[in-house]
Structure 1
Amino acid sequence: MSEPSTSASPAASSSSSAPQRGNDAQRAHNARAQHGNFHAYYHIRAAPAVPDAAVAAASAAAGDPRVPLILEELQRQRGERQWPLRLLDVGCNAGKMTFALATALPQAEHVLGVDIDAALITLAQAQVRRLQRGSAARPPQEPPEAKRAKHETTPTLQFEPCDWPRARLDLADAERHVQLLSKPPDGVEEDAARRARETQVRGKAREVKTLQRVLQQDESGWDCLLALSLTKWVHLQHHDIGLLHFLARLASSLRPLGVLVLEAQPWASYEQARRVIGAEGRRRHASLRLRPDDFEWWLAALGLEGPQRLGSTAGYGESTFSA
């Protein structure tokens, strides 16, 4: 859901036909990434120079120059307040940023990444399973008491596919579909039609459970919300009113003293998205009245304090962090 990141080096080239087919498919997907859900997210933008030596070292260790900026702001905002912390990464793509933050925040209670692209979430979930298998395979090298203490402060890391701003609407829609599809039609139903209907029911039932899990987590609120390189895509897909709904959803989901880290793409970068948003998206673009410079006013109107400028990253125009 986010734009390409600024972290990884370009992928190595290959002359074999199979990787080429994969690259072609990847490029074709990126050409249709109307929500900013680019695959190979971390290979598209080159990493910017980071002048501060300490931040540069942290960036290299985390794999993303935004990670140390976010960690520094969390530490500044929370001060002596007690952990655990609950963190939500909206538009997490394949979860690289989410993994980095979960690793750097072992005291966190829960870290959740959500993205509209189920294929990207599948990649992130596979990485979680690989890490879990690796942990299970390692021989114990710590006394039981230390292992228990370490386990108690390890965050629950979870990835779910959903359009987070629309989760409640999508849940109601999915529940309605399950109810309608579960009812056999009048008259004789062919076996093939029945199997197809039952497959649809199972798919929608899985969607219902996913959305219920996400909304259940939302009920507890979040201490840190990330919306990185995301506002442009929400704005282009859902117009001014959809963008305002998204900002309101973010503001209402924060716990008291929570932190919103918003990386809003500049207006100039909207033009660069025209090639992937389609004719309807281009018409919406032409009729937009809100500008990224307006977002701070709206967030203040929604009850948030700030912003605190954290820094900027190079890419599709300069992007500013606010909290």
Structure 2
Amino acid sequence: MNVQCQPVSPALLPGYTTDGRKGQKSPKRFIYSCSSVAETFHAVAKQHRGNYFEDGPKMEAPISEPTCSEEKEDPGAALYGNFINYYTFNPPENRLSLIPRTLLEDVGHEPDTQAVLLLDVGCNSGDLSIALYKHFLQDQPPGSDSSKTIHLLGFDLDQDLIVRAQNSNPFPQNVQFIPLDITSEESRTELASYLEKFGHSRFHLCSCFAVTMWVHLNHGDAALLAFLSRLASVCEWLLLEAQPWKCYRSAARRLRKLGRSDFEHFKTLEIRGDMAAHAKEHLEKQCGMELVQSFGSTSWDRSLLLFKRRSCSNQERKE
């Protein structure tokens, strides 16, 4: 089965005009390479236990849910989004309910005939990674060998969260969790080594849920665009959930309520407003990708957007 996703107009997405931008004013364009900010990004990451790869609760949500004693006393303490019990207040079902079980087949990858490689960026404790793996397995016919041909690699900067993911992993033969910073040169070697085992140069599908804001707030505009460029370089299809601007304001407000300083780059960010539109513009104009599907918005009002490489032909998928 090889059903192609039909392109959708960006105008269908909230806040988009027919040219894929919000309103009449065009957003400023920024062009940066990932390598230009990787060294700084990696150095700062080593100074903090935490990651840039998951999101905290909304301001409207109760803030007493985390079980970690530090978070009970200081719910804004996870400055990089590394909330210890993130999935108790944003369970995997919030995203899975929008993602079709047939997604792998819809984008031209049939697990029965080839190894399908999935990458989950910023996996936190691995709950959503495992749920996504099981989600895709459920679509396979009885007796199929798909459990042997779907492989998922999840990573996060927070080593403690990765240890939790590894210890609770029910599918160690097919799902792996590693500590990794995608902006570092080391990550290029590690990901290339993983792909080489399967004879591929890119992952078939990369998922990135609620990561972009933490990179952006802590390291600025250049780091955000470099991060998006890096994602585009390692996969054929990208499933992206970018936090909207209101989440930035909520994160900054949490810090102010705690008597802390704002995020270092918050007041100087030039990329603001419709963050999904900014991500779309950069991925399409600078990374050779195109938006092919919007799966709607989560209960936290975040769009799940599916992008593909423009050069992603049927022959390239088979290779």
Normalised TM-score (structure 1): 0.62
**Paired position in structure 2 for 1:3:** 55
Contact 1:218 1:253 in 2 (8 A): no
Alignment match, 1:110: 151
Q: SS of 2:84's equivalent?
A: coil
1:263 aligns with 2:280: no
Classify 1:37/1:231 alpha carbon distance in 2 versus 1 (closer, same or farther; 3 Å): same
Residue 69 to residue 77, structure 1, CA distance change in 2 (3 Å): farther
**Change in CA separation of 1:29 and 1:98 when aligned onto 2, cut-off 3 Å:** farther
Q: Is residue 73 of structure 1 aligned with residue 103 of structure 2?
A: yes
Please provide the CA RMSD for this pair. Answer: 3.2
Alpha-carbon separation, structure 1, partners of 2:76 and 2:68: 12
Shift of 1:282: 2.9
Measured in 1, the distance between the counterparts of 2:75 and 2:159 equals 15
Quote the Cα distance in structure 2 between the aligned partners of 1:4 and 1:215: 31
2:250 to 259, 269, 272: 272
- Structure 2 gap segments, 5+ residues each: 1-52, 138-145, 307-319
Indicate the residue corresponding to 1:319 in structure 2: 302
Contact 2:242–2:302 at 8 Å: present in 1 too? yes
Query: 1 or 2 for the larger relative contact order (CA 8 Å, sep ≥6)?
Result: 2
Q: Percent of aligned positions with the same letter in both sequences?
A: 32
Q: Distance in 2 between matches of 1:157 and 1:297?
A: 32
Residue in 1 that maps onto 2:194: 217
Query: How many equivalent pairs are there?
Result: 227
Q: Any gaps of 5 or more consecutive residues in structure 1?
A: 14-19, 48-62, 133-153, 172-209
Structure of greater Rg: 1
Offset at residue 5 of structure 1 (A) = 8.2
CA distance in 2, matches of 1:26, 1:229: 19
**Superimposed CA distance per residue, residues 240-283 of structure 1 (whole angstroms, 9 cap, x where no aligned partner):** 100110010011111xxx22010011111101111359967534
TM-score of the aligned structures, taking structure 2 as reference length: 0.62
SS at match of 2:120: strand
* Contact kept in structure 2, 1:3 and 1:38, CA below 8 Å: yes
Equivalences for residues 1-323 of structure 1 within 5 A: 1-4=53-56, 23-28=68-73, 30-45=75-90, 63-70=92-99, 71-78=101-108, 82-106=113-137, 107=146, 108-128=149-169, 131=170, 156-164=174-182, 166-168=183-185, 171=186, 213-217=190-194, 220-254=201-235, 258-274=236-252, 275-276=254-255, 282-291=263-272, 292=275, 293-301=277-285, 302-315=287-300, 318-323=301-306
